[in-house]
């Protein structure tokens, strides 16, 4: 056997073993080398070709330490970190404990500048427009509470925006007398101009700001933010984009999107440490956005004024860099193509069943990894519970506005065989007689 074949047969055996936790450091090192080699090979391939190379993905999956005992299809909630990211967090944490105020404040604190630069490169904007924080909620609440809005000013948003953000605007409405206007977004719309038109129809002469969710968490629908931001800009309206589900998943070049403010978590699609997020404020708006937690000069023109969070662990934010390296090693286009491929893999096998509804547009322009499915006559919470009880599949039930279903979210480490189990489960439930009638399309 050639060394490559040996490695492959070793990996095939490994696929049947019960995870990395039991391995010796030597084995872990061999695996890390193999992951590196697989990533290099993946980089030679066109995204569509790479998406289908199961052998390479099997090798890349070894970079994760996910449990072999459950099938996690709720990566939309929060994603696991590759081992190199977990190890970096551990390292920085132990290092901090050698002398917390010295190592955290004198040494690691300086590292934030390099994290900022790497993030800015990934986000396609200037480092002077990016603040590192703890999650999308913190980033977007900084914007929502920091905007200079006065009584009577209006904000446009949608009922499908994320509850934390809706609640923040509602608090401002109660406290400061701003008015909220709701645009009507029909899930499933696949016409960029028509969606942008809906936003335009929602504005009035008092509208100052519009809030847009780039990828809707409930259904996985991609919203044409670039088009919407351009249309609203012409009307003099500033735009806040919630990129929690889009960043490092679909194309999210912030300068290209053309928004004024952007907030995202990094512990979802980037696979960065839990409790990491990012705030973008267009340079010209930094001065006039009030920080949530002020430092000595809340009106200065420096993005760092949004990072005055007090004492917290610096280990997670430092290890964002390792997550960016891993993401770049796969390549944004190859990652997106693989995620879309995985969604399509299971959807194609169930979508024509007369009892099964797919509540997400299927084109790659309007969806990627996230997909919402329902079975006629089965309550989504019940379906979600049964998936775990019968098949150890962890997913997320959605009952929100008009949408009722279970959200299925694979990630790059998900195996087609995991999705076969999902397909098997859905088809077997759908074949059983249900209380109500056929699906509605």
Ligand X SMILES: Cc1ncc(COP(=O)(O)O)c(C=O)c1O
Q: How far is the CB of 140 from ligand X (least distance, A)?
A: 7
Contact 165, 210 (CB under 8 A): no
What CA–CA distance (Å, rounded) separates 335 from 43?
11
Q: Which is nearer to ligand X, 268 or 327 (CB)?
A: 268
Please give the residues from 129 up to 158 whose contact with ligand X meets the rule CB under 6 A: 135-137
Query: Does 164 engage in binding with ligand X (CB under 6 A)?
Result: yes
Q: How far is the CB of 247 from ligand X (least distance, A)?
A: 11
Q: Which is nearer to ligand X, 59 or 211 (CB)?
A: 211
Q: Which is nearer to ligand X, 61 or 137 (CB)?
A: 137
Q: Which is nearer to ligand X, 231 or 244 (CB)?
A: 244
Angle between helices 54-61 and 3-15 (to 10 degrees): 70
Please give the residues from 11 up to 30 whose contact with ligand X meets the rule CB under 6 A: none
Which of 436, 331, 320, 304 lies closest to 378 in space, CA to CA? 436
Q: How far is the CB of 221 from ligand X (least distance, A)?
A: 11
Please give the residues from 81 up to 140 whose contact with ligand X meets the rule CB under 6 A: 135-137
Q: DSSP for 23-44?
A: --HHHHHHHHHHHHHHHHHHTT
Q: Which is nearer to ligand X, 34 or 141 (CB)?
A: 141
Q: Which is nearer to ligand X, 137 or 321 (CB)?
A: 137
Q: Which is nearer to ligand X, 245 or 282 (CB)?
A: 245
Q: How far is the CB of 213 from ligand X (least distance, A)?
A: 5
Q: How far is the CB of 275 from ligand X (least distance, A)?
A: 8
Please give the residues from 327 up to 386 whose contact with ligand X meets the rule CB under 6 A: none
Dihedral sign, CA of 188, 191, 196, 198? negative
Interacting stretch for ligand X, rule CB under 6 A, among 190-198, 237-245, 358-366, 429-437? 237-245
- CA 312 → CA 77, 275, 380, distances in Å? 23, 11, 38
Query: Does 292 engage in binding with ligand X (CB under 6 A)?
Result: no
Which of 71, 55, 68 lies closest to 22 in space, CA to CA? 68
Tokens representing 438 are 């056929």
Please give the residues from 203 up to 222 whose contact with ligand X meets the rule CB under 6 A: 213, 217
What CA–CA distance (Å, rounded) separates 99 from 55?
45
User: 245, 282, 327, 335: which one contacts ligand X (CB under 6 A)?
Assistant: 245
Q: How far is the CB of 370 from ligand X (least distance, A)?
A: 10
Q: How far is the CB of 314 from ligand X (least distance, A)?
A: 19
Interacting stretch for ligand X, rule CB under 6 A, among 87-95, 239-247, 345-353, 389-397? 239-247
- CA 316 → CA 215, 240, 313, 372, 409, distances in Å? 25, 26, 7, 31, 24
DSSP annotation of 311 reads S
Q: Which is nearer to ligand X, 77 or 127 (CB)?
A: 77
- Residue with the two structure tokens 């970190």: 81
Judged by CB under 6 A, the number of residues near ligand X is 11
Q: Which is nearer to ligand X, 135 or 414 (CB)?
A: 135
Residues listed for the chain: 441
What binding mask, one character per residue, do residues 246-265 give for ligand X by CB under 6 A, x or -? -------------------x
Query: Does 162 engage in binding with ligand X (CB under 6 A)?
Result: yes
What CA–CA distance (Å, rounded) separates 137 from 163?
10
What CA–CA distance (Å, rounded) separates 83 from 103?
23
What CA–CA distance (Å, rounded) separates 196 from 201?
9
Q: Which is nearer to ligand X, 81 or 135 (CB)?
A: 135
Q: Is 290 exposed, middle or buried (0-12, 13-18, 19+ CB in 10 A)?
A: middle
Which of 68, 71, 58 lies closest to 7 in space, CA to CA? 58
User: 178, 244, 272, 430: which one contacts ligand X (CB under 6 A)?
Assistant: 244
* Binding site residues, ligand X, CB under 6 A: 135-137, 162, 164, 213, 217, 242, 244-245, 265
């Amino acid at each position: 056997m050639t060394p490559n074949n040996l490695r492959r047969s070793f990996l095939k055996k490994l696929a049947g073993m019960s995870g990395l936790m039991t391995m010796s450091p030597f084995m872990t090192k061999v695996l890390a080398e193999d992951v590196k080699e697989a990533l290099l090979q993946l980089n030679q391939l066109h995204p569509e070709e790479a998406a289908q190379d199961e052998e390479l993905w099997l090798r890349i999956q070894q970079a994760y330490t996910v449990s072999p005992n459950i099938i996690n299809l709720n990566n939309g909630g929060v994603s696991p970190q590759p081992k190199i990211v977990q190890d970096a967090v551990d390292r920085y944490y132990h290092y901090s404990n050698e002398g917390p105020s010295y190592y955290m404040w004198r040494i690691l604190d300086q590292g934030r500048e390099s994290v900022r630069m790497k993030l800015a490169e990934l986000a396609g904007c200037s480092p002077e427009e990016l603040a590192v924080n703890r999650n999308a909620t913190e980033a977007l609440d900084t914007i929502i509470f920091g905007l200079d809005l006065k009584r009577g000013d209006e904000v446009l948003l949608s009922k499908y925006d994320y509850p934390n953000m809706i609640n923040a605007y509602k608090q401002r409405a109660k406290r400061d007398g701003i008015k909220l206007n709701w645009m009507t977004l029909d899930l499933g719309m696949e016409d960029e101009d028509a969606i942008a038109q809906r936003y335009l129809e929602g504005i009035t002469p008092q509208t100052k700001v519009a809030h847009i969710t780039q990828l809707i968490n409930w259904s996985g629908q991609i919203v044409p933010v670039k088009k919407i931001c351009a249309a609203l800009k012409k009307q003099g309206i500033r735009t806040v984009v919630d990129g929690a589900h889009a960043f490092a998943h679909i194309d999210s070049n912030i300068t290209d999107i053309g928004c004024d403010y952007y907030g995202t978590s990094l512990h979802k699609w980037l696979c960065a440490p839990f409790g990491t997020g990012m705030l973008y404020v267009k340079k010209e708006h930094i001065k006039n956005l009030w920080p949530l937690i002020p430092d000595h000069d809340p009106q200065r023109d420096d993005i760092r004024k949004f990072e005055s969070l007090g004492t917290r662990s610096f280990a997670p934010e430092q290890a964002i860099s390792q997550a960016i390296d891993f993401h770049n090693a796969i390549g944004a286009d190859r990652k997106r193509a693989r995620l879309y491929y995985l969604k399509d893999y299971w959807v194609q096998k169930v979508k024509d069943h007369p009892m099964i509804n797919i509540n997400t547009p299927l084109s790659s322009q309007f969806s990627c990894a996230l997909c919402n499915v329902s079975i006629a006559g089965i309550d989504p919470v019940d379906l979600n519970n049964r998936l775990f009880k019968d098949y150890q599949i962890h997913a997320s039930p959605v009952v929100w506005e008009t949408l009722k279903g279970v959200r299925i979210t694979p990630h790059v480490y998900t195996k087609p065989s995991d999705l076969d189990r999902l397909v098997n489960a859905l088809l077997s439930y759908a074949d059983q007689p249900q209380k109500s009638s056929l699906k509605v399309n």
